[in-house]
Amino acid sequence: VFRGQVTLDGPSGTGKSSVARAVALELGAAYLDTGAMYRAATVAVLDAGVDLDDAEGITRAVREAAIGIGTDAATERVTVDDVEVTDRIRGTEVTRAVSPVSAVPEVRRLLVDAQRALVADAAAVVVEGRDIGTVVLPDATLKVYLTAAPEARAERRADQLGVTDPARIAAIAADLRRRDTYDSTRADSPLRPAADAVTVDSTHWERHQTVARIVELARERA
């Protein structure tokens, strides 16, 4: 059995969440989707009617919100103040606002503390996000940086959303680029591979191949 922590970081649209879930199920590990936590925090900010330039207002809204998330790979349910937001956090309103919310240092401090507490008791866990190997779990057993070519990422996201119109696929590609730039150039915890991360490029791989490679890397280190 695998014991330890696997971190999975990388840009949007690599299929990171579905890969991370599958890896967790194969390893019999717990699972935490930290992007879902930043998205839930964004729901709280939007519902508080706070301006996205108001870092203090954003921090207050996030501090006062009760974000509920499980650490079981088989359940995706996310709540804010006991209201289920599982579908809403994937919508365009939240996706547009999540990068500015997650760039606020105090928001990151609150959520990083919550993330560490959520996984503290797990004998085996897979945690996915942008800064897990660099900031949240610097002593993880295995750190993976998952990438794919931008065109492949836009196509996967389009598939996931059931979009086939080329103009809409181009819009999805533009949105991914915008979010990547925002996430990798922010001052606090920018998206980048940890010095000791293994980079896995999934451009030419089916999901099951990516999953098998990461499971193999994890077992080698367990």
- Binding-site residues for ATP, in ranges, read 10-18
* Stretch of 20-28, 43-51, 128-136, 202-210 contacting ligand C5P, by CB under 6 A: 128-136
Query: Considering the complex, what minimum distance in angstroms separates the CB of residue 9 from ligand C5P?
Result: 7
When asked if residue 38 is in the footprint of ligand C5P (CB under 6 A), the reply is yes
Asked if 146 contacts 14 with a C-beta cutoff of 8 angstroms, the reply is yes
Residues 53-112 that bind ligand C5P (CB under 6 A): 98-99, 102
Comparing CB distances to ligand C5P, the nearer of 36 and 124 is 36
Distance CA 93, CA 96 (A): 5
Computed on alpha carbons and rounded to an integer, the radius of gyration of the chain in Å comes to 17
Which residues lie closer than 8 Å to 124 by C-beta, 6 or more apart? 1, 2, 3, 4, 5, 27, 28, 29, 30
Contacting ligand C5P (CB under 6 A), which of 5, 131, 156, 211? 131
When asked if residue 153 is in the footprint of ligand C5P (CB under 6 A), the reply is no
Contacting ligand C5P (CB under 6 A), which of 21, 153, 157, 179? 179
Query: Considering the complex, what minimum distance in angstroms separates the CB of residue 3 from ligand C5P?
Result: 23
Q: Which two tokens stand for residue 201?
A: 């490029």
Query: Considering the complex, what minimum distance in angstroms separates the CB of residue 82 from ligand C5P?
Result: 21
Q: Can you tell me which residue has the tokens 């080329």? A: 166
CA 114 to chain CA mean position, Å: 14
Comparing CB distances to ligand C5P, the nearer of 4 and 129 is 129
Helix (H, G, I), strand (E, B) or coil at 143: strand
Q: Which two tokens stand for residue 27?
A: 């390893």
Query: Considering the complex, what minimum distance in angstroms separates the CB of residue 130 from ligand C5P?
Result: 4
Size of the site for ligand C5P (CB under 6 A): 14
Distances (CA, A) of 27 to 1, 6, 40, 174, 200: 7, 10, 27, 35, 18
Distance CA 115, CA 119 (A): 6
Distance CA 138, CA 159 (A): 33
Helix axes 34-47, 55-64, angle to 10 degrees: 110
Query: Considering the complex, what minimum distance in angstroms separates the CB of residue 41 from ligand C5P?
Result: 9
Contacting ligand C5P (CB under 6 A), which of 21, 69, 142, 183? 183
Comparing CB distances to ligand C5P, the nearer of 102 and 210 is 102
Residues making contact with ligand C5P (CB under 6 A): 12, 34-35, 38-39, 98-99, 102, 129-132, 179, 183
